[in-house]
Amino acid sequence: MKTKDFTYKGYSLEELQNMSVDQVSKLMKTNARRFLKRGLKTKHKDLLKKIRTKEKPVKTHLREMVVLPVMVGKTIRVHDGKEFVPLEIKPKMIGHRIGEFVDTRKRIRHGAPGVGATRSSMFVPIK
């Protein structure tokens, strides 16, 4: 059984990685294209520079950064409001925002009510 190679709008991952940011932005959907067309700010350029040079995971607060082909295969630690969550960038994430893949809210698990939680539990003996 042959595995299907990744393609984005008809281009392979290697071709995308060899393209400039302007060329890749023309292939993306409107929101990502608009973000890139307005020009990357200094903090976004610094993040890309760190991702290209460092081997260790890069920490960032930039949840609004669009995933580019250069980032594929790298691990980025994204801040969720409390801690830095590791995120492995995969080819299918291209064109999406980094923050989409890191949840900011934890799942709530309610336990049983304790003694004194209700009026009726006041009269229940502890032992």
Average model confidence (pLDDT) across the chain: 88
Tell me phi and psi for residue 25, to 5 degrees.
-65, -30
d(CA 23, CA 49): 19
Instruction: Examine the pLDDT at 1 and tell me if it is beyond 60.
Output: no
pLDDT of the residue at 59: 96
Average pLDDT over residues 100-114: 83
pLDDT tens figures, 46-103: 999 999 999 899 999 999 999 999 999 999 999 999 999 999 999 999 999 999 999 9
Which alpha helices (H) appear in the chain, and where do they start and end? 13-18, 21-25, 30-37, 42-53
Instruction: Examine the pLDDT at 124 and tell me if it is beyond 70.
Output: no
Q: Which domains does the chain have, with CATH numbers?
A: 7-102 (3.30.860.10)
Instruction: Examine the pLDDT at 117 and tell me if it is beyond 90.
Output: no
Number of C-beta neighbours around residue 22 at 10 A = 9
The one-character DSSP state at 71 is: G
| Count of CA atoms in the C-beta half-sphere (13 A) of 117 | 5
CA of residue 27 relative to chain centroid, distance:
20
